[in-house]
Homo-oligomer: A and B are copies of this chain.
């Protein structure tokens, strides 16, 4: 079930351990089929769609009936992932994990690109913040996949494919975000020699969702290039993702040098990532470390608020 206001995807848990049947509400089925709730109600009342009733009179459509209905009538699906995810749950004879992270991990391990994308997309469309999606399901699922299998070829294959699927999903999320060429500019990437591009892509997606105009330089970008790009594009913000730097000990000096170099331009530098030792960073007025996308989001919101109040940041 997709909840619009709570912003979470919740799957019904059946009290019976066996023979569970997922029941769809009119809203969920309407969303999956791309029609209005009124139509679902009418079809159920006409009898063409067999719907059960709760004691209070609410319609509930068993998943199997929904699938039969779609197939019999040759209906097109607007959002197959709703039915699809439930389908996985039905096949496994147990509900999909209520936890979105577990659900995503299972889909990624199964190599189910479409439904994995669908899960992230439906989270986004149902109002979950990009920060929550990235800090939650995406980060968790990839961390677990990475940890469990980091040594053998099959594990590497799973991890690489999972990363690609997440990258696809993030690119599609970004295509839903409005673009504003007049928005303040942000530039970023991973440090030179750091091959992980997903952290930087995640930061780019987050900043785009926060209204920035984003230039992602991707993996293995020298700090000098970040500085140059920031200068040329008149960026207000630089993000640096640290995942697997070749020389962790040099990271603090590198980012500190970057922060000092761009300080005269009034540029803020934010650093984050799994490979970052935040405590090792020197304290500079325009250098900020964050452990999560939520923190990055909070920071840029703070910037925006200060800017709109004093006019200093956006000027």
Which residues on A are within 8 Å of B, measured CB to CB? 4, 16-19, 21-23, 31, 34-35, 39, 43, 48, 52-55, 60, 62, 73-76, 78-79, 84, 111, 113-114, 125-127, 153-154, 156-157, 160-161, 163-164, 167-168, 171-172, 174-176, 178-179, 181, 189, 195, 197, 215-222, 224-229, 232-233
Contact = CB atoms under 8 A, between A and B. Distances in A.
A55 B60 contact: no
A168 B174 contact: yes
A179 to B, nearest CB: 6
Contacts of A233: 111
A125 B22 CA distance: 14
A267 to B, nearest CB: 14
Contact of A171 (B55, B168, B197): B168
A157 B228 contact: yes
B227 A153 contact: yes
Q: Which one of A4, A73, A156, A176 has the greatest number of beta carbons of chain B within 10 Å?
A: A156
Given A161-B217, A171-B172, 8 more contacts: A39-B54, A55-B73, A60-B76, A153-B225, A157-B225, A157-B232, A164-B215, A195-B220
A80 to B, nearest CB: 9
B111 A157 contact: no
A48 to B, nearest CB: 6
Contacts of A224: 153, 156
Contacts of A229: 154, 157, 161
A78 B21 contact: yes
A34 B55 contact: no
A43 B16 contact: no
Contacts of A16: 4, 31, 125-126
A283 to B, nearest CB: 26
B161 A215 contact: yes
Nearest to A189: B160
B23 A178 contact: no
Contact of A160 (B54, B55, B221): B221
A127 B226 contact: no
Nearest to A122: B16
A76 B125 CA distance: 23
